[in-house]
Structures are given as structure tokens and as C-alpha cells.
């Protein structure tokens, strides 16, 4: 993650949950079935039985809190982690790089990454998967589902509540495409808004 991206996520921390809750800048967006699908996704994640789990790019811990077992959250944003620590007090949190995971080989049963993988270009996705396979036996990817109204990849221009403007790379996936990139896996959720695949 480059400096501009770090600045973006630090500045976005206070409003990040608006993405999930449909509030703030997301209040005017039409997302039919979003809330219902989000609840289904949370149920899928909560049903996973990892003894130890690493949540990469955990952000504010919005989804981290539904993961079971001994959970470690990792993020590069200090502002995101400050929120996550208050939201998920039973988890441990580490500031670090998702492409250079500061953990020993096979330290975790499972690794989860929600809305992180789709912000990586193809070479970075390859580096991330290599690191994920090094530290965990199973890999769970949750990301944005490909829809007819979006391209497979784009550079999005985003404006935050403080008026700052940022450009963010975004990739959307069908379940089949995600499984192909992971090399194997099974679909845990496939909806209009989210896709979740577990590999390993």
C-alpha cells in the first residue's frame, strides 16, 4: 500500500462503517437487498469454525467481530485499528502490511480478507495469496460481486466527508473468477453485492 492509500484509509476510518450501514455518503445510494444480504454474509462468516484466524485489512472490525476462535486483526491504518480495538475487545490487533504478513508459517488455521483482495492489482493479488498460503491453512476471501452495472475493474474517484479526493483501484469478481485465482475453493456466498469463497 502506497502513501496515498494509507492517507485515504486513515481519513476514511471514522466514516468507514457507512459503507456497510448505508449511512453518510452511502445514504443516497440505491442498493436493493443490501442489508438483508449483509446479514446473510455475517451469518456465513459466523458459522466458520477456525481455531485461530487472521483477519487481514480488518479495518474497523465491522466483520472481524463475527469471526470465532482466537482472532488477530491486521491493518496498516492506525485510525482503523483504534476503532477495531474498541469494537472487538476479545481480539488482538497488529499494525502491518497485508503483502508482508508479520507472522510465522502456518500460524493460523484460517485467514480472512474482506474487501481487501479487490483493491489489489493482479501482481499484488499474487503476492498476497503467496503470503496468505504461507501463514494459514485456509483462505477466505470476501469481496464485491460482479454486477451488470460495473466493469470488472476500475479506478474509482472517491470524496470523503472532509472533502478530500482519492483514486482507488477496484476489482469485482464472479465466484468462478475468484475460485480460478485462488486455484481451488468452494463458494460460501454468491449474491448481488458480495461473494465469499473459502480455499484450502
The domains of the chain are located at: 3-199
The pLDDT score that the predictor gives to residue 147 is 96
Summary mean pLDDT of the chain: 96
Q: Is the pLDDT of residue 171 over 90?
A: yes
pLDDT tier for residue 1 given thresholds of 50, 70 and 90: low
Query: Considering only CA atoms, which of 132, 156, 196 is closest in space to residue 5?
Result: 156
Q: Look-up: residue for cell 492506525?
A: 78
Rounded CA gap, 15 and 9, in Å? 10
Q: Is the pLDDT of residue 4 over 80?
A: no
Of 99 and 2, more confident: 99
Q: Look-up: residue for cell 502456518?
A: 106
Give the gyration radius of the chain's Cα atoms.
16
Rounded CA gap, 10 and 159, in Å? 14
Burial of 30 (0-12, 13-18, 19+ CB in 10 A): exposed
Homologous superfamily of domain range 3-199:
Vaccinia Virus protein VP39 (3.40.50.150)
pLDDT tens digits, 39-92: 999 999 999 999 999 999 999 999 999 999 999 999 999 999 999 999 999 999
Total Cβ atoms within 10 A of residue 128: 23
pLDDT tens digits, 98-151: 999 999 999 999 999 999 999 999 999 999 999 999 999 999 999 999 999 999
Rounded CA gap, 174 and 180, in Å? 10
The pLDDT score that the predictor gives to residue 91 is 98
Query: Considering only CA atoms, which of 44, 46, 198 is closest in space to residue 113?
Result: 198
Amino acid at each position: 500500500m502506497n502513501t496515498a492509500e494509507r492517507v485515504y484509509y486513515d481519513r476514511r476510518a471514522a466514516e468507514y462503517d457507512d459503507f456497510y450501514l448505508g449511512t453518510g455518503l452511502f445514504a443516497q445510494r440505491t442498493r436493493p437487498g443490501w442489508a438483508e444480504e449483509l446479514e446473510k454474509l455475517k451469518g456465513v462468516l459466523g458459522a466458520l469454525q477456525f481455531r485461530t484466524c487472521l483477519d487481514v485489512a480488518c479495518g474497523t472490525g465491522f466483520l472481524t467481530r463475527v469471526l470465532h476462535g482466537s482472532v488477530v486483526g491486521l491493518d496498516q491504518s492506525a485510525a482503523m485499528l483504534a476503532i477495531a480495538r474498541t469494537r472487538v475487545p476479545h481480539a488482538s490487533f497488529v499494525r502491518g502490511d497485508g503483502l508482508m504478513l508479520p507472522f510465522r508459517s502456518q500460524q493460523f488455521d484460517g485467514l480472512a480478507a474482506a474487501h481487501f483482495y479487490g483493491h489489489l492489482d493482479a501482481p499484488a493479488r499474487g503476492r498476497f495469496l503467496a503470503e496468505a498460503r504461507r501463514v494459514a491453512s485456509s483462505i477466505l476471501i470476501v469481496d464485491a460481486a460482479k454486477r451488470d452495472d460495473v466493469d470488472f475493474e476500475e479506478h474509482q474517484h472517491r470524496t470523503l466527508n472532509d472533502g478530500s479526493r482519492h483514486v482507488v483501484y477496484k476489482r469485482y469478481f464472479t465466484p468462478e473468477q475468484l475460485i480460478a485465482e485462488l486455484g481451488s475453493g468452494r463458494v460460501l456466498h454468491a449474491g448481488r453485492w458480495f461473494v465469499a469463497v473459502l480455499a484450502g
